[in-house]
């Protein structure tokens, strides 16, 4: 064990952790027993004996880890974080489509006529019949309410006839560019499934709720507090939000002492120079030097998803040869957006799922470098799910970060090879190949597409097995990684992706004190115990923001 400490300073700690198995993610000092914290920062890392010298009786808070594992707080590099809706119909892991009908019926019974009913996270590949759901599941229980239920990937929505009628969508409505109105192959009528860019056509025709503005404000505020509570209970101390979120809401949370998770908030990628200049002003207000609320990266979509059959592929889908997926915009338009935003100095992240979508993303980043010159841009490929093997070395060459979500692998593996075949699957969720080729990886969850719990991601990264467990070595086991590396990508890798690797993501003197203590040693326990692991303490900015049993 390598333990070093400079504990000769006279300053006493505000908080110390002793008797821990500390995995620091610091290659120069990989393990320790104890940590001393002053204010927001770590002031010493070493043995329990050394760190105990920094305890001042009566003023220093002492947390005895009792031999438990201590690691940096999780930094979710790709998460759709925001206030939770208590009325949202949760359909994750549903196997019987009739459950959808029942849950919608129950929510309609609690709602006023014309009020929008929202829910989601259904996955038709988990249904008993593996068929896409249709509006008929909804119509009989919601004749007078609009219903919108998102697929787990967020790239397809099931709506009822009320919504179709309010939107003016009929059998004669053409598909928009980059979108699809799914239609019955026999009747030609819309089935209720709306994909990708076609979602912009949806109008709900909802009535205003009976809640007052004040009641709605209170409801949303409670939603923020619920989300932050979930994050800290799971050991998530930082989140990076792709796209829109409310800067002012998080500022208020911070002023009120309720912000227990650091946050980066991005904006949509654009080539509009007026908008880009507005972004620059926003970036000045929330600069990279901040530690809590920061301007993030500019996000674009180049394609859809494997599950919805809308990922952009070079060749047709194996199970549906009539399509090779959808691009969200022509390549020339996309490339121009990337070059323009890069010229202004922004970091760019692109949702890329299919092999062609990923190829286009790398091509655009490469072109921006050629046009604008090489810089430390740290552009990001968000998801990087299916990659041509020849494109894997380009990540390191171009300095493009592979921002990946391991749970997508164990969710999608049920249907991935059916969609794209075994040959293309060699480059699917290929985090080991990317790492071996020198790419920087940053892990996250894509919550609420997937659960926020990092333990599920760690399990997926090291096992590539179904959540219920399975025999054998897992799907495409050559892509499995070690737990130490999975933790690193979820901490230091994510910090690097947001230009914070010099002060976050390691347990190191001078770094921000974002630390968790867990109840099981995930480095040595059997795979089937990883997802059962709980967080006992979450420390963000030197403060204990969650302690189990309190």
Give me the residue spans of the domains in the chain: 1-73+505-550, 89-201
pLDDT per residue as tens digits for the range 370-418:
999 999 999 999 999 999 999 999 999 999 999 999 999 999 999 999 9
- Alpha-carbon distance of 446 to 456, in angstroms, equals 12
Tokens 């808070």 correspond to what residue? 61
What does the block give as tokens for 539?
A: 């420390």
Burial class (CB in 10 A: 0-12, 13-18, 19+), 271: middle
Q: Of 318, 332, 329, 323, which is closest to residue 352 (Cα–Cα)?
A: 329
Check residue 483 and give its pLDDT. 98
pLDDT score for 122: 94
Confidence of residue 210 (pLDDT cuts 50, 70, 90): low
Q: Tell me the percentage of the chain whose pLDDT exceeds 90.
A: 90
Per-residue pLDDT of 338-366, as tens digits, reads: 999 999 999 999 999 999 999 999 999 99
Whether 480 shows a pLDDT value over 50: the answer reads: yes
Confidence bin at 34 (pLDDT 50/70/90): very high
Residues 347, 349, 352, CA angle at the centre, nearest 5°? 160
Confidence class for position 244, pLDDT limits 50, 70, 90: confident
The alpha carbon of residue 401 and the mean position of all alpha carbons in its chain are separated, in whole angstroms, by: 15
Contacts of 277 (CB under 8 A, 6+ apart): none
pLDDT at 204: 86
Supply the mean pLDDT for the chain: 95
Distance CA 43, CA 54 (A): 10
- Quick check: 214 pLDDT over 90? no
Confidence grade of residue 549 (pLDDT, cut at 50, 70, 90): confident
3 pLDDT exceeds 70?
no
Residue-wise DSSP of 192-216: EEEEEGGGGG----PPPPS--HHHH
Mean pLDDT of 468-475: 93
- What's the rounded Cα separation, in Å, for the pair 11 and 13? 7
Backbone dihedral region for residue 58 (phi beyond 0: left; psi -120 to 50: alpha; all else: beta): left
Whether residue 8 is predicted with pLDDT greater than 60 in this model: the reply is no
- DSSP lists the bridge partners of residue 348 as 298
- Whether the bond between 448 and the residue before it is cis, its omega within 30 degrees of 0, is yes
Could you give the CA distance from residue 502 to residue 511 in angstroms, rounded to a whole number?
Answer: 8
Q: Are 76 and 495 in contact (CB under 8 A)?
A: no
If DSSP codes are grouped into helix, strand and coil, which group holds residue 231? Answer: helix
| DSSP H helices in 289-353 | 331-343
CATH 2.30.110.10 fits 1-73+505-550, yes or no: no
Q: Which of 159-163, 467-471, 534-538 has the lowest mean pLDDT?
A: 467-471
Burial of 352-380, coded b for 16+ CB within 10 Å and e otherwise, reads: bbbbbbbbbbbbbbbebbeebeeeebbbb
Q: What's the residue count for the chain?
A: 550
Of 301, 387, 303, the residue nearest 350 (C-alpha)? 301
Inform me whether the pLDDT recorded for 151 exceeds 70: yes
Domains 1-73+505-550 and 89-201 share a fold: no
Residue recorded with tokens 């989601």:
120
Q: Stretch 22-33: mean pLDDT, rounded?
A: 98
Using DSSP's 3-state secondary structure scheme, residue 478 falls into helix
Q: Note the pLDDT of residue 304.
A: 95
CB-based contacts of 118, cutoff 8 Å, min separation 6:
85, 87, 88, 89, 147, 148, 149
Q: Does domain 89-201 have CATH number 3.40.640.10?
A: no
- 444-459: buried (b, 16+ CB within 10 Å) or exposed (e) per residue? bbbbbbbbbbbbbbbb
Give 224-236 pLDDT, tens digit per residue. Answer: 999 999 999 999 9
**pLDDT over 90 at 93, yes or no:** no
**Average pLDDT over every residue of 529-549:** 96
Structure tokens at 185: 């192959």
Residue 1 has pLDDT above 50, yes or no: no
Residue 437 predicted with pLDDT over 90 = yes
d(CA 292, CA 169): 44
Kindly report, residue by residue over 256-295, the tens digit of the pLDDT: 999 999 999 999 999 999 999 999 999 999 999 999 999 9
């Amino acid at each position: 064990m390598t333990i070093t400490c400079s504990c000769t300073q006279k300053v006493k700690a505000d908080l110390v952790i002793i008797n821990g198995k500390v995995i620091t993610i610091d290659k120069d000092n990989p393990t320790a027993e104890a940590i001393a914290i002053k204010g927001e920062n770590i002031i010493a890392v070493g043995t329990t004996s050394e760190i105990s010298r920094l305890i001042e009786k009566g003023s220093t808070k002492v947390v005895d880890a009792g031999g438990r594992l201590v690691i940096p707080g999780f930094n979710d590099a790709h998460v759709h974080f925001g206030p939770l809706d208590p009325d949202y119909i949760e359909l994750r892991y549903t196997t019987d489509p009739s459950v959808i009908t029942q849950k919608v019926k129950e929510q309609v019974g609690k709602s006023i006529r014309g009020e929008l009913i929202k829910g989601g996270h259904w996955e038709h590949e988990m249904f008993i019949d593996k068929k896409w759901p249709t509006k008929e599941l909804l119509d009989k229980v919601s004749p007078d309410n609009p219903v919108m239920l998102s697929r787990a990937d967020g790239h397809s929505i099931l709506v009822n006839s009320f919504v179709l009628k309010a939107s003016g969508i009929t059998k004669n409505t053409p598909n928009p560019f980059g979108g699809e109105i799914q239609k019955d192959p026999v009747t030609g009528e819309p089935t209720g499934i709306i994909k990708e860019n076609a979602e912009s056509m949806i109008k709900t025709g909802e009535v205003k709720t009976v809640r007052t503005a004040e009641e709605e404000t209170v409801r949303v505020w409670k939603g923020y507090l619920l989300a932050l509570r979930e994050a800290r209970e799971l050991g998530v101390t930082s989140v990076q939000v792709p796209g829109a979120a409310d800067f002012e809401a998080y500022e208020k949370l911070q002023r009120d002492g309720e912000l227990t998770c650091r946050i980066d908030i991005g904006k949509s990628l654009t080539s509009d120079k007026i908008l880009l200049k507005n972004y620059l002003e926003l970036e000045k207000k929330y600069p990279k030097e901040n530690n809590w609320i920061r301007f993030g990266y500019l996000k674009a979509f180049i394609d859809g998803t494997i599950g919805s059959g809308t990922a952009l592929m070079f060749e047709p889908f194996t199970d549906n040869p009539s399509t090779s997926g959808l691009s969200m915009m022509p390549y020339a338009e996309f490339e121009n957006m990337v070059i323009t935003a890069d010229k202004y100095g922004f970091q760019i992240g692109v949702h890329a799922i299919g092999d062609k979508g990923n190829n286009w993303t790398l091509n655009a980043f490469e072109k921006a470098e050629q046009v604008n010159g090489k810089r430390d841009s740290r552009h990001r490929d968000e998801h990087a799910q299916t990659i041509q093997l020849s494109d894997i070395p380009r990540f390191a060459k171009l300095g493009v970060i592979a921002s990946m979500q391991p749970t997508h692998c164990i969710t999608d593996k049920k249907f991935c090879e059916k969609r794209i075949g075994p040959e293309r699957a060699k480059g699917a969720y290929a985090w080991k190949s990317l790492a071996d080729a020198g790419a920087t990886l940053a892990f996250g969850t894509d919550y609420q597409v997937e659960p926020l719990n990092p333990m599920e991601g760690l399990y997926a990264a090291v096992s590539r097995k179904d959540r219920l467990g399975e025999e054998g070595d897992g799907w495409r086991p050559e892509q499995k990684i070690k737990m130490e590396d999975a933790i690193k990508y979820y901490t230091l890798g994510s910090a690097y992706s947001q230009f914070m690797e010099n002060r976050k993501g390691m347990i190191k003197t001078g770094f921000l004190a974002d630390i968790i203590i867990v109840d099981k040693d995930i480095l040595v326990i059997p795979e089937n115990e990883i997802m059962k692991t709980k967080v006992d303490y979450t420390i963000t900015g030197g403060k204990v923001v969650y302690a189990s049993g309190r």
